[in-house]
Chains A and B, each alone.
Chain A
């Protein structure tokens, strides 16, 4: 283990605090820039019988009103299925779907003109929830499956059996910067797109598709995003595409930045899920058989729902072994915005179902939930082994039991549990609860082909360096980590390297920056490019230093004879010499993750290169009068391998946890009878503030005992998504506190999210049952 404690600060930190860091819509507007505003459907589902835009078009300052007829290429932005028209042809499929877009000189003119576009509709029956979709059998694609053993027979044979249902709410991304794009067709007819996108290549492809151009006529750049969280993985595309269409049609540069309420109404969210389960277990709480039916609310189009659903299905197991498993999943087609990627990508919903089941078992047996959790952990050392997932992949480098034990000790879990029991005995209307929950999260894209990355490295003769890679920066610190990789391999200081804006004309055919894989994939590609150039520089250096090629070392902005710091040259001198010797100082780097395979039909394979592990202890206090809870203390222990950058990794853990906390407590999406989003602004949709985060908030990085069996960049692990699921400990702690109002209850139902009202209702239900 290298134990690298690199702590480089975020590369844009100074830009952030001074306001000098620019975002997509802030780039200097070129002369003649125009803006867009949508015409929104007032129906969740309707036939469009007429669009009359004459009045709008006649407004001073209006350049065009774009409808389906204006699309020169393919009018479709669907990333997997082609089921997502950019502009509807004859039907609207969700409330507030843009029917047309007004292009105008200013946002105000565009907005006013949009109100003048007359659209006639014939309303159609709308399906507004998973429940309705299940009843009406409105689904995308055939059912998906993950199975091992014979769950049906094992359920029948199990000594104990429980069944239940769980509805899980969605979550708005609420990235602070809304969807934004900026498009200009340059003098050579190349469509230059600047987009707040996590997936520039796909944005490029979709823009090209809509305009009917080959990919080489579109360049997409992503400067930096004011947050993404999955919400800009596919859903940046339509806004880039509409801006591109406007630029193409009007011959003017076009900027779009959605107002917050539009962003919330138009874009998809974390999928709400509905789960039904049956579990068989024994008197010790050991899992024997599990049957789960998952329904994901896909919304009006398919978007990324199939892989989201699959990731949910392969995370129901979380850290627990069950010999016989049958999981089936379906994607509901509803007349709501199309749900999409969101940090965890279905994993959190799957895991929540798993933890719900564990809690049911624990209460049924009247045993502490953490005992049931521990007993069922995957284990490589158990006899017979219990270390293979339902999708037949072994649990690679399983450290959960050790990590769990460490956290239980450091958080003084057992002592505090005692204390809380005493507190609860003496308090009728305020109850506390504590819970510990684990996370095992698979890292890699389920879709094998996405697990590749490229980089492009230029060293200039003066020794300065430009670095391009395919990943995007959305605040997660990818650029900083990549800089760390490059400086480490090249032996130069960060000052020497200019990290370039992510651009499809520098690195083509990239994958989305997603699935916690940004630094794994791009880091390796960058490392490969760096090594290529070092190999080219080595002979020149050897000659100059008068040593063997394999003695050349690159350290501290110099090249030297290994172990002899006195025999060295400045890096810039070496690069000048290389140039003079006619050595190419530009190289690409490429990486593909080894050993992955996945059969999506069978739901079986080796989809993950490795797993990230973590665990969290949360303690809450619930007020029995109001259902309001307060989070008193959290202790997180998370496995990031050998951290590439501890400051950034901690930031991801803290931030992911709080985002999960929001999803499970205060963030509630509410829809009106017409399918309109009622919680379409931060005045009604509440993400956590500093006030929801406990001051007792301990975050530690797990130090593993053994070297990993995989070869991830410098021994690190992806950290973007897994910590979000540590927040499940908060939900379980709330459940413990609720349960304390009716000791001995054999079942404690709790809504997700656990809002004050949900908690209040849960307590009332328990009291009524007694």
Chain B
């Protein structure tokens, strides 16, 4: 048997024996009197609880991932290493991210500040083009500053380098998770087979990937499952293969990684990902989790519908592939059997496929969709429409294609007439609901107008 479960924080090892595995990291930090990490919502929406998780990719590169500690149950963290705001300064010597915030007057009440510091800190050690851009801090709410000084702090950091400092060195020698025992009720298999066997043994146990959906319930003490099978250590789920005919995305690939590594392949995906939550969530959230939740407002689902994805499942009976068009059955009910695991999603690459996506929310940055739409179109040699997909989220109980309107368009040219005919049909294609995000009328209107907006980019 391996060692007792532990967690390394700021280089110090904490024994997790006896810790409630469903407790969020944030609440547990408070029990350790590590008060620097703040609770602003316990929902994943404010970023005040941001910590930097050490993460090692399959290719062996390590990084600091800004994540929301309120969404991470302790059971997922056995063996892992992370930094909190208390771990950055050496005595009076501030980390550059902290110094920049001080220099630029980035704090007023200070309650959001540790979260911003940790987001900026993680950005300092990333070579992504947007590592210290607005997108690095869009998941951190501040009610005092109006963000201008924090933006200046990020700018100041862009002119600096942390290469070679103690934190960079720690990354360089980081060799991944420490091996240790699981916390009770949280299983952390290393392979798909092991995961499936565990599910057979414990049918009430629930798959958990990035925990950005399940973590919200856990954080609020709601809906606790009998057990959890963590998917984040299964190499197979981390595959991302870009082939000439298709792209295969492992169910456990994080959205941040998709953003980076799949950029330029599918415009519809590129256009949607930046509007999906914010950095901390995208660092954890997976494509499998979005499909697993099967929410009518899951933003990647219309994109998968538009791109004719197929879902690769593995269950006790073996592997099968389900076309995305047959995947969503009813509200949060899918063709996947409870004991099946989503292993990957396959996206065919079609020559000349025009595709795009649009998302409308009350607040454009980091908000849940009112309506999300993804469109794909291929034209025949004569310019008529040979293939079309009009897929929507937020207009029905499941993500849906407007099949009747698609057939209406086939064979026609995409001229003003066709656009208007299709838009009129789209207006009444769905029967959306009224809720606190928007009225049904607005949603119906968007179904039509987002298509008009897309069409205008194809035939201006």
Contact = CB atoms under 8 A, between A and B. Distances in A.
Contacts of B84: 19
A176 B140 CA distance: 11
A658 B360 contact: no
B18 interface: no
B102 A691 contact: no
Contact of A654 (B89, B149, B364, B453): B149
Nearest to B35: A26
Interface residues of B, number: 77
B35 A19 contact: yes
Interface in A1-49: 9-10, 12-23, 26, 28
A225 B109 CA distance: 6
Contacts of B89: 17-18
A226 B110 CA distance: 6
B440 to A, nearest CB: 11
B293 to A, nearest CB: 14
Contacts, number: 232
A757 B368 contact: no
Contacts of B435: 678
A176 B111 contact: yes
B237 interface: no
B113 interface: yes
A678 B435 CA distance: 9
A229 interface: yes
Interface string B35-65: 1111011111110100000000000000000
B446 interface: yes
Contacts of A26: 35
A661 to B, nearest CB: 8
B114 interface: yes
Contact of A13 (B48, B102, B148, B437): B102
B420 to A, nearest CB: 14
Contact of A686 (B37, B106, B363): B363
Interface stretch (A418-426, A534-542, A693-701): A693-701
B113 A684 contact: no
A692 B109 contact: no
A654 B110 contact: no
Interface string A665-697: 010101000000011011110111111110101
A659 B109 CA distance: 14
B38 A690 contact: no
Interface string A464-508: 000000000011110000000000000000000000000000000
B98 interface: yes
Contacts of B436: 670, 678-679, 684
A197 to B, nearest CB: 14
Contact of A692 (B101, B106, B364, B368): B364
Contact of B438 (A228, A630, A678, A757): A757
Q: Is the interface of B mostly helix, strand, loop or mixed?
A: loop
Given A475-B109, A651-B145, A628 B46 contact: no
A16 B110 contact: yes
B365 A654 contact: no
B108 A625 contact: no
Contact of B363 (A627, A647, A692): A692
Nearest to A15: B110
Contact of B365 (A10, A648, A692, A755): A692
Given A9-B102, A18-B89, A658 B108 contact: no
Interface in B353-382: 358, 360-368, 370
B147 interface: yes
A471 B101 CA distance: 25
Contact of A227 (B99, B140, B143): B143
Nearest to B87: A19
A473 to B, nearest CB: 8
Contacts of A23: 35, 38, 111
A19 B108 CA distance: 13
Given A474-B109, A655-B108, A755-B362, A260 B137 contact: no
Given A177-B109, A693-B146, A19 B48 contact: no
A223 B46 CA distance: 23
Contact of B141 (A17, A177, A689, A764): A689
Contacts of B139: 689
A21 B110 contact: yes
Contact of B108 (A20, A475, A657, A691): A475
B445 interface: yes
A692 B142 CA distance: 12
Contacts of B438: 757
Contact of A655 (B46, B137, B145): B145
Question: Closest 8 A-B residue pairs measured CB to CB?
Answer: A19-B36, A475-B109, A226-B111, A691-B365, A16-B110, A658-B146, A475-B108, A682-B45
Given A176-B141, A176-B142, 7 more contacts: A21-B110, A23-B111, A681-B41, A682-B43, A686-B361, A686-B363, A692-B365
Interface of A: 9-10, 12-23, 26, 28, 108, 111, 173-177, 224-229, 259-260, 429, 474-477, 623, 625-628, 630, 647-648, 650-651, 654-659, 666, 668, 670, 678-679, 681-684, 686-693, 695, 697, 699, 755-757, 760-761, 764
Interface of B: 33, 35-38, 40-46, 48, 84-86, 88-89, 94, 98-99, 101-102, 105-114, 117, 134, 137-151, 216, 221, 278, 358, 360-368, 370, 435-439, 442, 445-446, 449-450, 452-453, 456
26 contacts: A17-B101, A17-B113, A18-B88, A19-B114, A22-B35, A26-B35, A176-B38, A176-B142, A177-B111, A226-B38, A226-B110, A474-B109, A475-B109, A625-B449, A626-B358, A627-B442, A651-B145, A655-B145, A668-B362, A670-B436, A679-B436, A682-B40, A682-B141, A684-B368, A690-B140, A693-B151
